[in-house]
C-alpha cells in the first residue's frame, strides 16, 4: 500500500479551562488513503469537530503525530499551518461562512489571493468551479441573495478552488432541508468520483450512507471504523 494521505498516531487534544483540564481526544489512531470517502459520526461532544480541526490544520494536537501527505504537521507554527491549509485543505462548514455583501465569484476566488494568483487567473478558476457546482447563473449574486443550498454550493466551490488534497466538511447539510441536503450530497458524491478525498461529519445515517467508510467516535476515542 502506498503511504496514506492522512496518518495520525495516538493523537490527544486537551484544553485548559481555568484550573481544569478537559480531555477531549484521548488517543486516536487513523489512516485515510487518497480517494476515500469517509463519514465521521458520534454523539454530540464526542470530539468530531475537534478532530476535524486537527485534520484541517486549524489546530495542533496536545500530543501524538499527524502526517499529512508525507509531512509531519503536528508541531508546525501558525504561518506554516496556514500555508499547508491553503494548499491541501478545502473546508465546508455547517453555517457556510461566506462573506455576506460579496459576490459568489469573489467569495470563491478569495483563497486564491493567498495562493498568489493574478486576478484574471482567480476569476477564471472561480467561474470554472462555480459552473462545476451548478451556479454559473449566480456568479454575480451576493451571498446574502442566495438560498441556503446555493450558499453551500458557493462554499463547496470555494473549498475546491485551490484543488486541495482533502475536502473536509463539518455537518455540511446541518442547516439544509432534506431535499437540499440530498442535492449537496450529490455534489459531494461527484467531487469524490472526480478523485477527491472527502471527509464529512454528520449526525444522519442517510447522509453517512453516501460515504464508503464510517468512523464513529465516542468520548474522544474511535468506537468503530467500518469500510463498506
Ligand X SMILES: Nc1ncnc2c1ncn2[C@@H]1O[C@H](COP(=O)(O)OP(=O)(O)OP(=O)(O)O)[C@@H](O)[C@H]1O
The residues of the shown chain that bind ligand X, judged by CB under 6 A, are 15, 17, 22, 24, 42, 44-50
Q: Please answer whether residues 25 and 219 qualify as being in contact, where contact means their C-beta atoms are separated by less than 8 angstroms.
A: no
- Using CB under 5 A as the binding rule, the residues of this chain from 124 to 163 that contact Mg ion are none
Exposure class string for 55-82: b at 16+ Cβ within 10 A, else e: bbbeebbeebebbbbeeebbebeeeebe
The distance of closest approach from Cβ of residue 43 to ligand X in the complex, given in angstroms and rounded to an integer, is 7
The distance of closest approach from Cβ of residue 49 to Mg ion in the complex, given in angstroms and rounded to an integer, is 3
Q: Please answer whether residues 36 and 197 qualify as being in contact, where contact means their C-beta atoms are separated by less than 8 angstroms.
A: yes
Distance (Å, whole) CA 173 – CA 185: 8
Distance (Å, whole) CA 96 – CA 152: 6
The distance of closest approach from Cβ of residue 176 to Mg ion in the complex, given in angstroms and rounded to an integer, is 16
Q: Which stretch binds Mg ion (CB under 5 A): 41-49, 78-86, 138-146, 152-160?
A: 41-49
Q: For residues 11 and 104, which CB has a smaller minimum distance to Mg ion in the complex?
A: 11
Site membership for Mg ion, residue 49 (CB under 5 A): yes
The distance of closest approach from Cβ of residue 112 to ligand X in the complex, given in angstroms and rounded to an integer, is 29
Kindly give, in sequence order, each residue whose CB lies less than 8 Å from that of residue 38, ignoring residues fewer than 6 positions away.
32, 198, 199, 200, 211, 212, 213, 214, 215
**Is residue 155 within a helix (H) or strand (E), and if so which, with residue range?**
helix 148-160
Total residues contacting Mg ion by CB under 5 A comes to 2
The distance of closest approach from Cβ of residue 47 to ligand X in the complex, given in angstroms and rounded to an integer, is 4
Site membership for Mg ion, residue 46 (CB under 5 A): no
Q: Which stretch binds Mg ion (CB under 5 A): 43-51, 131-139, 176-184, 210-218?
A: 43-51
Amino acid at each position: 500500500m502506498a503511504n496514506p494521505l492522512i496518518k495520525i498516531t495516538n493523537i490527544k487534544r486537551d484544553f485548559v479551562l481555568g484550573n481544569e483540564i478537559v480531555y477531549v481526544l484521548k488517543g486516536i489512531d487513523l489512516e485515510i488513503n487518497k480517494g476515500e470517502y469517509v463519514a465521521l459520526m458520534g454523539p454530540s461532544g464526542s470530539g468530531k469537530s475537534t478532530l476535524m480541526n486537527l485534520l484541517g490544520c486549524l489546530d495542533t494536537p496536545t500530543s501524538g503525530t499527524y502526517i499529512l501527505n508525507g509531512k509531519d504537521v503536528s508541531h508546525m507554527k501558525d504561518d506554516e499551518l496556514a500555508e499547508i491549509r491553503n494548499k491541501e485543505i478545502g473546508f465546508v462548514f455547517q453555517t457556510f461562512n461566506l462573506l455576506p455583501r460579496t459576490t459568489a465569484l469573489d467569495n470563491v476566488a478569495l483563497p486564491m489571493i493567498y495562493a498568489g494568483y493574478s486576478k484574471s487567473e482567480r476569476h477564471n478558476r472561480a467561474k470554472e468551479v462555480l459552473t462545476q457546482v451548478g451556479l454559473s447563473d449566480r456568479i454575480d449574486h451576493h451571498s446574502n441573495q442566495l438560498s441556503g443550498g446555493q450558499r453551500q454550493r458557493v462554499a463547496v466551490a470555494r473549498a475546491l478552488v485551490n484543488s486541495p488534497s482533502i475536502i473536509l466538511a463539518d455537518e455540511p447539510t446541518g442547516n439544509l432541508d432534506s431535499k437540499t441536503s440530498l442535492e449537496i450530497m450529490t455534489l459531494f458524491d461527484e467531487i469524490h468520483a472526480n478523485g477527491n478525498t472527502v471527509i464529512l461529519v454528520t449526525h444522519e445515517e442517510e447522509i453517512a450512507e453516501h460515504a464508503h467508510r464510517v468512523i464513529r467516535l465516542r468520548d474522544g476515542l474511535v468506537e468503530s471504523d467500518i469500510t463498506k
